[in-house]
């Protein structure tokens, strides 16, 4: 699902979307998330985001969607929203899932700090605000990134 509202840019007359949204279902297979990342890259390119902002956004998306697939109940959905207003532009990344899955026993390999456990810190470092909202359908985790 893709939705956008068009608004005119004063300088050139070119039509720039004031708001845009992309919603993608998340597959339950970790290996299939690469296709989601490719689609996100294409959307961010279409939205004309600066390469450094797109790179940060892709890392945030990657952390959030991987956590949803590994640790939450299906279904899971990714929503990207770009909103322009109040002198700036914000990219919101939201991942909604059906809530936490039952804990599985972890082996030594699963607990290596080099490989796991830094996702929330990465999301917090790259966003100017982030959080989670619990609702009757599950949990929505979100992060807002500044877009120049």
Percent of the chain having pLDDT more than 90? 66
Each residue's pLDDT tens digit, 12-31: 333 345 789 999 999 999 89
Closest residue by Cα to residue 3 from 17, 13, 14: 17
- pTM confidence score: 0.80
Contact 98, 115 (CB under 8 A): no
Q: Rounded to the nearest 5°, which phi and psi values hold at 119?
A: -60, -45
Judged against a pLDDT cut of 90, whether residue 108 lies above it is answered with no
The secondary structure element, H or E, covering residue 15 is: strand 15-26
- Average pLDDT of the residues of the chain: 83
């Amino acid at each position: 699902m893709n939705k956008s509202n068009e608004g005119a840019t004063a300088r050139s007359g070119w039509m720039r979307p004031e708001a845009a949204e992309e919603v993608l279902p998340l597959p339950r297979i970790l290996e299939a998330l690469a296709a989601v990342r490719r689609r996100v890259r294409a959307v961010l390119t279409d939205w004309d985001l600066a390469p450094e902002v797109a790179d940060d956004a892709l890392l945030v998306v990657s952390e959030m969607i991987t956590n949803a697939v590994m640790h939450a109940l299906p279904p899971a959905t990714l929503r990207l929203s770009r909103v322009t207003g109040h002198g700036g532009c914000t990219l919101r990344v939201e991942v909604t899932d059906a809530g936490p899955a039952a804990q599985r026993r972890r082996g030594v390999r699963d607990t290596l700090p080099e490989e796991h456990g830094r996702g929330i810190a990465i999301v917090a470092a790259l966003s100017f605000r982030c959080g989670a909202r619990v609702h009757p359908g599950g949990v929505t985790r979100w992060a807002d990134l500044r877009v120049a």
